[in-house]
Amino acid sequence: MARLHLFDLDGTLIKGSAAPVEISRQLGLLDEIGELERDLAGGRIGPPEYAVRVHGLWSGLTEAHVAAAFASAPWLFGIQEVWRDIRERGDYCAVISLSPSFFVERLLGWGAHAAHGSVFPEVPFTRPVDPAGILNASAKVSVAERLRAEFGVGRADCVAYGDSMSDVELFAAVPVSVAVNADHHLAGLATQTYTGGDLREAYALAQIKRA
């Protein structure tokens, strides 16, 4: 049976950082995004309000900023090699992230079969962000279910990779999960735990559980 590998982005594929942080770095807005990230992590705002405020913060965003943020982000080593191996095995790989879709979808060029993020307007922004298109932790499970049906993969053949509270529900919904450089929210939930900078090593742990 084919497997579906589901990857988080922020803190998982990007080690120690997040797409909004890397984009804000290009705009010279690290202090501002840091405050929003703390408000989100502390539960003072939810994903929709966070997205609306980020959209306003990035009023000067251009495609050049996004491309530079993507190119300079601290990616784990071996991402493209892992996804190539997944494809060669006849399996599937997808990224599901709360970060902006215009950043997440760039990973299709690295070999992901699917890449889903919170829906933002095209860059440069000429329209407001629609809170209805912003993903939350529960939406990760819903997107995973849609992908599972699309690829014809059983729930027993799904693997999740994540690092934080936004991955808790997805980890609970799949039989195999790899906590990658994870925080305390995933303690005791993952079937495997990885700390390091190479996705190939985290992927090898998931293969141990291949039945």
Whether the pLDDT of residue 147 is over 90: the answer is yes
Radius of gyration over every alpha carbon of the chain, rounded to an integer in angstroms: 16
- Please state, in angstroms and as integers, the Cα–Cα distance from residue 17 to each residue in 37, 42, 52, 76, 152, following that order: 11, 17, 20, 11, 33
* CB contact at 8 A, 172 and 189: yes
How many C-beta neighbours within 10 Å does residue 37 have?
A: 17
Q: Which pTM value belongs to this model?
A: 0.96
pLDDT, tens only, 103-123: 999 999 999 999 999 999 999
pLDDT class for 1, splitting at 50, 70, 90?
confident
Question: Span 4-16+74-208: which CATH code?
Answer: 3.40.50.1000
Domain boundaries, the chain: 4-16+74-208, 19-71
